[in-house]
């Protein structure tokens, strides 16, 4: 059209007006560290694999997990999931059931036979890994991926360490454990069973290993001196769980007292119920609030009929009679004796008072410092002896399988750097993504999917797995509860809410770009970003 | 394993997009090829609710009409910031005539299309609250009464913003404007005045009347689509916060609109032939203070000597709306379906 | 076909022959018979396709026409007096947007005091709006001007107002030759808009224009009106050729040859003026008439030519600019500024007061004696005025003048003498 002058205008002409010049603040896309990732001792990128699981891309999600942790099915069962404790969603309704989704993915991986990433190109370096528990296996896996040769030795006749000998099968079915360990071994590992390393230095030199990793665990029960008559049956929880694991359960009688307040005490009590005890009583010197055992595990134990004697210590055990002393907490929460006693009938007493590490293999390694019964290590997990690394329960840290797996990965990185003469550089960590950066309006209200638990009657007497996995539908639901804290998940809000069309949508997985020619810096995109992945920064004027 | 029918997803139907939804269920705004009926380069203030609302509504209308759309615009911010010679931000056929005549001009457009047999082309007219409830009301009422085939959209920012924030018939009580200053015993706009245009539209028993806000895109788009499926006179009243006139932060435009709905001060509903057929339930009921306190047009209600008396009068307006429109989820007439949720 | 027909009806039927596609109607006397007739034709199916819209005000009537015209439909409406003033914002807008709307203005006085009868105050109130304003002398010309108006408007993308005196023409039953459809179709091509709202070719119509281009936009509008000065006589000639009648054009001179005195006027009063001129010519006076058809654009050169050589110009006006004087006179004065003729203004016919031949002859006689005041109010009852002035001087609350004057006249309501 030959348009009338000035009053009639052609479309698109406003693009000549670059409103970006109005801006005093500019939006920039950022990635922030989600609290789950931050809290994961294994260093998993939880937010990322949940994102991948959300559209049903389970294999991709599984691969994301095994980037860091080769045991999703195991950890999906026994991890105490600090990720969920840290999860921002707790401030909205309940934490995302990360652990359950991990288990779902782990089980799917086993079912479908997804292989771990292959071993790396041979580097010619050799590493000795002592101990085939979570730390040792994790280190082995990560070392093999780097292409280093690994000799994995363990004093037991099967791999798995405390995952096999300390964790009851109702929490971790052996088939699952075996499957995930087999995958690691399949990467090509020189495995030696029933092999106890007496002297690390000798063993290292004999095998000409470039490095060694000590992951010997804490398998010695911590003993306390409790006066007990000859006929009184006293044993420690580590032995109890080990014997059950190797199908040689001890006879304990009808009334069994477990003494201690940690996870092992709860495992022991629940195991005892399954072994036929009618009364399984946990005696603990403090109260419930101060009990270190995981709340979920305790709940399940109580539901299974385990009973508690709070604020009590075992004074002596004689002829089927257990003498308990009542305690009270002082102002600082520390238990102090009251002098009041109480008699309690019991057939056996199981002591679950902690575990110690057997470090005799270090006797001829004077450079390795030991403090409080554990090995001192640098951030790279290297001990005072060059080339000797340590991790898992043998070093100072919370004694969980997840932590151990993280140690294994970390040590593998440390050893890799050591062997190639490099310095291990920590990747820069993004700033944390706290709850107050989220715009929670956008998240659908969705309480957590509970994993079903076995019928109580059934599980009291069997070692069948107690907690069922999620159905696919529930796993998806749970994954989709993720708030994706601090990481763009392509909800299109920024693209939609910009009054100036100054956000460019780049397509799936490509996220967005700001068109600074037109962005006026109003900040709507940042304010309405559900996950806090946009910062407003002062414009350079 | 086939993909199970889980439709729940993080942001459900609250965010603009949702990568897990099938294409048909995606919002118009999430489409990288959306029309951008109102395009970049316009001169609206930072965080302008009207610019946003206009693009939301017209892009939805464009999709609904398969890009066969003509828009008529009243004088006002939207017109001024979009078409200063020599630049226009509109990507659709657009006509501006006067402040008070947009409904009648739209009637003319519709009549011309009808007489020319162009039944494929649809007509939208748009105006601010002044152009709708005040100066344009005569023409609007006539358009309603004749049941002309026009969708009229009011972008309500509750005052004459283009001329410098003067009171309109849509200015709420106690709000400060340049002609209702925050001085005297009853600072700001007086109570007991003002026009409820959606109700007036309903009194004409026109085909479709709905309210919406820029805070709920899905609801807004659904209403535009519903309106576009119908013929005859239709009215959509969209609350569009004005950072300049309301004294809210430019980044808070959507939040303010959301709070207007969540407090009950702005009932979001729809009506067919004069009867309310659905309301958008309040999701998190919020006291009016939260809405008022982030807008400097209400600053005189807070500060050293808070006017709790006035705040409670405003709260009672919200409460009355909640009761009248049954805005709480439990007694909502029909809760808007959250499309993306099971 | 020659018919004995009311002016409004003749206009309505002629407009219908022009195939308007959207017609808006808001009733106001004396326009009502026009839109009633068109409404009936649309309703009966005689005029189709056409949307006839009963709007809620004149403002809406012009606004609907704007929307329809911008969408490419031939648009028509009619109004008068207060109605024109009520739509005035849209009247300016239609011109500013360059939309070729055709509107009949059934000229009528403007209140207060409210008065439904004829004068030209309404047309004069919008002379600067950018519309082309054509004044009809007779019902035949009123009808014919509409056919030309649509073609002129659409050729130039400008709105055209056909002014016809309320009641005097609109309600007068006279003989009018109405064209047939084929003739009109041959003369008036279908509307090809210069700009149109079209999804296939989107544009923004009605931009805000600031100081950087506003004057140019206005000047372009002026140039288009000047273009109209060229087109109007051409169209009138084409019309004459097609229909065998002289209608329209810029102006109609009558017996101006050798005239010492020429009367200039608009509209139907020209008939009476011609009678008076005939009488004076018969009495040997050299008088003539120039009837102006195109008031906007004002044909300054044509008027100058028509008045050249005359000694006296008497402009008879049915409107005036209060506090100043004649409106048309001002334009005529501009056209004759370089001649040495004297120019006299006679204001008359306000609010429907008849302009009689006798009064006009008296005026011409006085003019011939060079005794005519520069500004004369025809048949003004000066005693009534003086009585009211006296009342106003003596009593602060002397009451409304109109009612006082009616009381003086002994009438309870206005009447036509």
Q: What is the CATH number of the domain that holds C257?
A: 3.40.50.920
Q: Which domains does chain A have, with CATH numbers?
A: 13-31+488-538 (3.30.70.20), 37-115+445-479 (1.10.1060.10), 126-220+356-419 (3.50.50.60), 250-351 (3.50.50.60)
Closest partner CB to A11 (pick from C194, C203, C217)? C203
Q: Are residues C238 and C255 in the same domain?
A: no
- Asked if the Cβ–Cβ distance from C204 to A11 is below 8 Å, we say yes
Query: CB-based contacts of C192: which residues, under 8 Å, 6+ apart?
Result: C154
B290 contacts chain A (CB < 8 A): no
Q: What is the pLDDT of residue A228?
A: 83
- Asked if the Cβ–Cβ distance from B112 to C90 is below 8 Å, we say no
Q: How far apart are CA A315 and CA A471, in angstroms?
A: 48
Cα-Cα-Cα-Cα torsion C51, C52, C58, C63, nearest 10 degrees, comes to 0
- What residues of A are in contact with residue B36 (Cβ under 8 Å)? 501
Bridge-based pairing state of the strands A126-130 and A211-214 = parallel
How far is the CA of C335 from the CAs of B141, C289, C344, in angstroms? 48, 16, 14
pLDDT, mean of residues B63-86: 97
User: How far apart, in Å, do the first and last CA atoms of chain B sit?
Assistant: 20
Q: What is the CATH number of the domain that holds C191?
A: 3.40.50.970
Chain C: give the shortest CA distance to residue A25, in Å.
Answer: 30
| Chain A residue with the nearest C-alpha to that of C201 | A1
Task: Judge residue B62's burial from the number of C-beta atoms within 10 Å of its C-beta, 0-12 exposed, 13-18 middle, 19 or more buried.
Answer: buried
Radius of gyration of chain B (CA): 20
In B92-111, the residues whose Cβ lies within 8 Å of chain A are 92
User: How far apart, in Å, do the first and last CA atoms of chain A sit?
Assistant: 42
What is the rounded average pLDDT for all residues in chain A? 93
DSSP class of A284: -
Q: Which domains does chain B have, with CATH numbers?
A: 23-331 (3.40.50.970)
Chain C: give the shortest CA distance to residue A438, in Å.
Answer: 41
C60 contacts chain B (CB < 8 A): yes
Which token pair is C69?
Answer: 């015209």
Q: Are residues C69 and C217 in the same domain?
A: yes
Angle subtended at Cα C400 by Cα C398 and Cα C405, rounded to the nearest 5 degrees: 95
Which of the other chains make 3 or more beta carbon contacts under 8 angstroms with chain C? A, B
Q: Are residues C217 and C297 in the same domain?
A: no
| Chain A residue with the nearest C-alpha to that of C94 | A7
- For residue A262, which phi and psi values (nearest 5 degrees)? -95, -175
- Asked if the Cβ–Cβ distance from C196 to A1 is below 8 Å, we say yes
Strands (E), C299-399: 312-317, 342-347, 375-377
What is the rounded average pLDDT for all residues in chain B? 93
Map tokens 């050893």 to a residue: A415
- What residues of A are in contact with residue C205 (Cβ under 8 Å)? 7-8
A334 contacts chain B (CB < 8 A): no
- Asked if the Cβ–Cβ distance from B17 to A528 is below 8 Å, we say no
Q: Are residues C303 and C284 in the same domain?
A: yes
Chain C: give the shortest CA distance to residue B328, in Å.
Answer: 40
pTM for the complete prediction? 0.91
- Asked if the Cβ–Cβ distance from C204 to A2 is below 8 Å, we say no
Q: How far apart are CA C150 and CA C188, in angstroms?
A: 7
B19 contacts chain A (CB < 8 A): yes
Q: What is the pLDDT of residue A158?
A: 95
Q: What is the pLDDT of residue B331?
A: 61
Q: How far apart are CA A141 and CA A535, in angstroms?
A: 38
pLDDT along chain A (541 residues), means of 10: 83 94 96 96 96 94 97 96 95 92 96 96 97 97 98 96 93 96 97 94 94 94 83 88 91 93 94 92 93 90 93 90 91 90 91 92 91 93 96 94 96 96 86 96 82 71 83 88 94 97 95 97 98 95 68
Any alpha helices (H) in chain B, and if so which ranges?
49-64, 77-82, 102-115, 129, 137-146, 197-203, 217-229, 243-246, 253-263, 288-292, 308-325
Map tokens 């009616």 to a residue: C406
| Chain A residue with the nearest C-alpha to that of B27 | A496
- For residue C55, which phi and psi values (nearest 5 degrees)? -95, 175
| Chain A residue with the nearest C-alpha to that of B55 | A499
Q: Are residues C85 and C185 in the same domain?
A: yes
Closest CA to C143 of C119, C178, C172: C178
Q: What is the pLDDT of residue A174?
A: 94
Per-residue pLDDT at C413 exceeds 90 = no
Q: Are residues C110 and C127 in the same domain?
A: yes
Q: Is-contact A469 A102, C-beta < 8 A?
A: no
Q: What is the pLDDT of residue A469?
A: 85
| Chain C residue with the nearest C-alpha to that of B69 | C199
Lowest average pLDDT, out of B261-275, C258-272, C368-382, C387-401, goes to: C387-401
Q: Is-contact C325 C345, C-beta < 8 A?
A: yes
Task: Judge residue C391's burial from the number of C-beta atoms within 10 Å of its C-beta, 0-12 exposed, 13-18 middle, 19 or more buried.
Answer: middle
Closest CA to A438 of A386, A500, A487, A373: A487
Q: What is the pLDDT of residue C398?
A: 83
B2 pLDDT band (50/70/90 cuts)? very low
Q: What is the pLDDT of residue C169?
A: 98
Q: Which residues pair with B128 in a beta bridge?
A: B155
Map tokens 């603009």 to a residue: B16
CB pairs under 8 A between A and B: 182
Map tokens 């920012």 to a residue: B157
Map tokens 């706009």 to a residue: B189
B337 pLDDT band (50/70/90 cuts)? very low
What are the DSSP calls for B272-332, one per residue?
Answer: ETTEEEEE--BSS---HHHHHTT-GGGGGGSSSS--HHHHHHHHHHHHHHHHHHT-BGGG-
Per-residue pLDDT at B313 exceeds 90 = yes
Closest CA to A310 of A270, A255, A260, A351: A260
Q: Are residues C98 and C196 in the same domain?
A: yes
A421 contacts chain B (CB < 8 A): no
- Asked if the Cβ–Cβ distance from A6 to C205 is below 8 Å, we say no
Total domains in the fold of chain C: 3
Q: Are residues C196 and C301 in the same domain?
A: no
| Chain B residue with the nearest C-alpha to that of C203 | B93
Which three-class secondary structure state does DSSP give residue A140?
A: helix
Q: Are residues C232 and C274 in the same domain?
A: no
Q: How far apart are CA A377 and CA A135, in angstroms?
A: 14
Which token pair is C193?
Answer: 């808009």
Which of the other chains make 3 or more beta carbon contacts under 8 angstroms with chain B? A, C
Give the end of a domain, one of C212, C243, C274: C243
Give the end of a domain, one of C225, C243, C261: C243
What is the rounded average pLDDT for all residues in chain C? 95
Closest partner CB to A441 (pick from B42, B90, B258)? B258
- Asked if the Cβ–Cβ distance from A6 to C216 is below 8 Å, we say yes
Q: Are residues C270 and C406 in the same domain?
A: no
Which three-class secondary structure state does DSSP give residue C132?
A: strand
Chain B: give the shortest CA distance to residue A506, in Å.
Answer: 8
Q: What is the pLDDT of residue B7?
A: 60
C101 contacts chain B (CB < 8 A): no
Closest partner CB to C204 (pick from A2, A5, A8)? A8
Q: Are residues C355 and C394 in the same domain?
A: no
Strands (E), C191-309: 203-205, 251-254, 261-265, 287-292, 294-296
Percent of all residues in chain A with a pLDDT value above 90, rounded to a whole number: 78
Query: CB-based contacts of B23: which residues, under 8 Å, 6+ apart?
Result: none
- Asked if the Cβ–Cβ distance from B106 to C67 is below 8 Å, we say yes
- What residues of B are in contact with residue A515 (Cβ under 8 Å)? 40
B89-145 per-position pLDDT tens digit? 999 999 999 999 999 999 999 999 999 999 999 999 999 999 999 999 999 999 999
Per-residue pLDDT at B338 exceeds 50 = no
Chain A: give the shortest CA distance to residue B125, in Å.
Answer: 18
Per-residue pLDDT at B3 exceeds 50 = no
B155-193 per-position pLDDT tens digit? 999 999 999 999 999 999 999 999 999 999 999 999 998
Q: What is the pLDDT of residue C207?
A: 96
- Asked if the Cβ–Cβ distance from B11 to A530 is below 8 Å, we say yes
Closest partner CB to B94 (pick from C90, C97, C204)? C204
Q: Are residues C184 and C297 in the same domain?
A: no
Closest partner CB to A524 (pick from B82, B89, B253)? B253
Q: How far apart are CA C107 and CA C124, in angstroms?
A: 10
CB pairs under 8 A between B and C: 162
In which domain, by residue range, is C361 found? Answer: 251-377
pLDDT, mean of residues C101-111: 97
- Asked if the Cβ–Cβ distance from A7 to C220 is below 8 Å, we say no
Chain A: give the shortest CA distance to residue C213, in Å.
Answer: 7
Query: CB-based contacts of B77: which residues, under 8 Å, 6+ apart?
Result: B44, B48, B50, B128, B157, B161, B162, B242
Q: How far apart are CA B303 and CA B307, in angstroms?
A: 9
Q: How far apart are CA A45 and CA A37, in angstroms?
A: 5
Give the end of a domain, one of C197, C220, C243: C243
């Amino acid at each position: 059209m030959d348009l009338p002058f000035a009053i009639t205008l052609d479309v698109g002409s406003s693009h000549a007006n670059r409103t970006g010049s109005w801006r005093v603040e500019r939006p920039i896309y950022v990635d922030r560290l989600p609290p789950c990732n931050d809290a994961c001792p294994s260093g998993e990128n939880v937010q990322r694999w949940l994102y991948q699981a959300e559209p049903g891309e389970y294999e991709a999600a599984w691969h994301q997990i095994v980037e860091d942790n080769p045991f999703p099915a195991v950890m999906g069962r026994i991890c105490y999931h600090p990720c969920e404790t840290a999860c921002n969603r707790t401030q909205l309704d309940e934490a995302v059931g990360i652990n359950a989704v991990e288990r779902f993915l782990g089980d799917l991986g086993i079912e479908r036979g997804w292989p771990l990433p292959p071993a790396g190109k041979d580097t010619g370096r050799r590493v000795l890994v002592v101990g085939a528990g979570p730390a040792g296996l994790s280190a082995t896996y990560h070392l093999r991926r780097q292409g280093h040769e690994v000799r994995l030795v363990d004093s037991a006749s099967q791999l798995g360490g405390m995952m096999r000998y300390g964790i009851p099968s109702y929490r971790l079915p052996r088939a699952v454990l075996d499957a995930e360990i087999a995958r690691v071994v399949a990467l090509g590992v020189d495995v030696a069973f029933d092999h106890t390393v007496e002297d690390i230095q000798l063993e290292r030199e004999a095998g000409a290993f470039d490095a060694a990793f000590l992951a010997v665990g804490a398998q010695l029960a911590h003993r306390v001196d409790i006066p007990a008559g000859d006929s009184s049956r006293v044993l420690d929880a580590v032995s109890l769980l080990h014997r059950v694991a190797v199908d040689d359960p001890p006879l304990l009688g009808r009334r069994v007292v477990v003494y201690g307040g940690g996870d092992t005490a709860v495992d022991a009590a629940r195991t005892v119920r399954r072994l036929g005890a009618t009364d399984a009583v946990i005696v603990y010197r403090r109260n419930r609030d101060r009990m270190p055992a995981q709340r979920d595990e305790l709940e399940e134990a109580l539901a299974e009929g385990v009973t508690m004697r709070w604020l009590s210590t075992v004074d002596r055990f004689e002829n089927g009679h257990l003498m308990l002393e009542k305690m009270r907490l002082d102002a600082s929460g520390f238990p102090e004796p009251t002098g009041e006693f109480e008699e309690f009938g019991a057939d056996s007493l199981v002591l679950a008072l902690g575990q110690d590490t057997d470090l005799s293999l270090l006797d001829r390694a004077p450079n390795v410092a030991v403090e409080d019964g554990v090995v001192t290590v640098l951030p790279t997990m290297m001990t005072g002896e060059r080339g000797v690394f340590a991790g898992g329960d043998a070093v100072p840290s919370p004694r969980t399988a997840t932590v151990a797996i993280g140690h294994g990965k970390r040590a593998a990185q440390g050893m890799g750097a050591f062997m190639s003469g490099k310095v291990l550089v920590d990747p820069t960590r993004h700033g944390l993504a706290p709850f107050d950066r989220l715009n929670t309006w956008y998240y659908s209200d969705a309480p957590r999917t509970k994993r079903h638990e076995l019928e109580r009657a059934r599980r009291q007497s069997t070692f069948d797995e107690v907690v069922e996995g999620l159905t696919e539908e529930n796993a998806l639901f749970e994954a989709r509860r993720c708030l994706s804290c601090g990481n763009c998940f392509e909800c299109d809000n920024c693209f939609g809410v910009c009054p100036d069309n100054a956000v460019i949508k780049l397509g799936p997985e490509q996220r967005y770009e700001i068109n600074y020619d037109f962005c006026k810096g109003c900040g709507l995109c940042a304010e309405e970003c559900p996950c806090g992945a946009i910062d407003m920064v002062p414009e350079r004027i | 394993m086939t993909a199970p029918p889980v439709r729940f997803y993080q942001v459900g139907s609250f965010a603009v997009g949702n990568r897990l939804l099938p294409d048909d269920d995606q919002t118009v705004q999430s489409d990288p090829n959306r029309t951008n009926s109102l395009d970049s380069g316009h001169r609206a203030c930072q965080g302008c609710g009207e610019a946003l609302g206009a693009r939301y509504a017209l892009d939805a209308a464009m999709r609904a009409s398969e890009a066969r759309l003509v828009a008529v615009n009243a004088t006002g911010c939207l017109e001024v910031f979009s078409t200063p010679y020599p630049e226009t931000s509109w990507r659709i056929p657009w006509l501006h005539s006067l402040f008070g005549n947009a409904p009648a001009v739209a009637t003319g457009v519709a009549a011309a299309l009808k007489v020319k047999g162009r039944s494929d082309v649809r007509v939208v007219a748009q105006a601010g609250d002044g152009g709708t409830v005040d100066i344009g009301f005569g023409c609007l009422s006539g358009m309603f009464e004749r049941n002309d085939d026009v969708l009229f959209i009011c972008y309500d920012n509750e005052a004459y913003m283009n001329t410098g924030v003067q009171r309109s018939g849509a200015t709420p009580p106690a709000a400060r404007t340049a002609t209702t200053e925050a001085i005297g015993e009853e600072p700001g706009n007086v109570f007991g005045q003002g026009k409820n245009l959606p109700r007036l539209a309903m009194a004409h028993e026109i085909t479709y009347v709905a309210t919406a806000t820029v805070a709920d895109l899905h609801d807004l788009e659904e209403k535009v689509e519903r309106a576009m499926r119908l013929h005859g006179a239709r009215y959509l009243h969209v609350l569009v916060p004005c950072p300049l006139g309301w004294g809210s932060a430019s980044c808070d435009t959507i939040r303010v609109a959301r709070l207007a709905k969540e407090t009950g001060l702005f009932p979001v509903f729809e009506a067919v032939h004069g009867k309310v057929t659905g309301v958008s339930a309040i999701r998190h009921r919020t006291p009016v203070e939260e809405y008022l306190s982030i807008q400097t047009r209400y600053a005189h209600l807070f500060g050293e000597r808070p006017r709790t008396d006035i705040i409670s009068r405003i709260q009672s307006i919200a409460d009355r709306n909640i009761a009248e429109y049954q805005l709480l989820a439990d007694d909502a007439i029909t809760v808007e379906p959250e499309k993306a949720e099971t | 076909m020659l018919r004995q027909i009311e002016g409004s009806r003749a206009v309505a039927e002629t407009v219908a022959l022009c195939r308007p596609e959207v017609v808006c109607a808001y009733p106001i006397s004396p326009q009502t018979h026009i839109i009633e007739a068109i409404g009936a034709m649309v309703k009966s199916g005689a005029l189709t396709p056409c949307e006839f819209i009963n709007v809620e005000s004149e403002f809406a009537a012009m606004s609907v026409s704007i929307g329809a015209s911008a969408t490419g439909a031939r648009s028509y409406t009619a109004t008068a007096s207060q109605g024109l003033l009520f739509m005035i914002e849209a009247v300016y807008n239609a011109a500013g947007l360059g939309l070729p709307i055709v509107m009949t203005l059934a000229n009528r006085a403007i209140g207060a005091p409210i008065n439904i009868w004829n004068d030209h105050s309404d047309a004069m109130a919008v002379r600067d709006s950018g519309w082309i304003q054509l004044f009809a002398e007779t019902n035949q010309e009123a009808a014919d001007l509409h056919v030309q108006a649509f073609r002129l408007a659409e050729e130039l993308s400008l709105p055209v107002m056909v002014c016809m005196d309320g009641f005097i023409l609109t309600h007068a039953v006279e003989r009018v030759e109405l064209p047939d459809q084929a003739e009109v179709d041959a003369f008036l091509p279908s509307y090809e808009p210069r700009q149109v709202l079209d999804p296939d070719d989107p544009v923004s119509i009605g931009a805000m224009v600031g100081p950087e281009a506003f004057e140019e936009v206005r000047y372009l509008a002026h140039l288009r009106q000047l273009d109209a000065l060229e087109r109007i006589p051409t169209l009138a000639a084409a019309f004459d050729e097609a229909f065998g009648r002289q209608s329209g054009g810029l102006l109609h001179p009558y017996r101006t040859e050798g005239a010492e005195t020429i009367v200039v006027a608009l509209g139907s009063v020209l008939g009476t003026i011609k009678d008076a001129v005939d009488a004076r010519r018969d009495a040997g006076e050299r008088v003539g008439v120039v009837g102006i058809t195109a008031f906007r654009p004002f044909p300054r050169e044509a008027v100058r030519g028509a008045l050249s050589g005359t000694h006296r110009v008497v402009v008879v006006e049915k409107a005036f600019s209060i506090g100043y004087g004649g409106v048309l006179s001002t334009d005529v004065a501009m056209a004759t500024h370089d001649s040495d003729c004297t120019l006299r203004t006679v204001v008359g016919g306000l609010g429907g007061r008849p302009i009689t031949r006798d009064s006009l002859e008296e005026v011409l006689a006085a003019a011939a004696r060079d005794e005519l005041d520069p500004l004369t109010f025809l048949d003004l009852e000066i005693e009534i005025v003086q009585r009211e002035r006296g009342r106003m001087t003596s009593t602060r609350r002397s009451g409304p003048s109109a009612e006082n004057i009616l009381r003086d006249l002994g009438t309870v309501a206005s009447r036509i003498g």
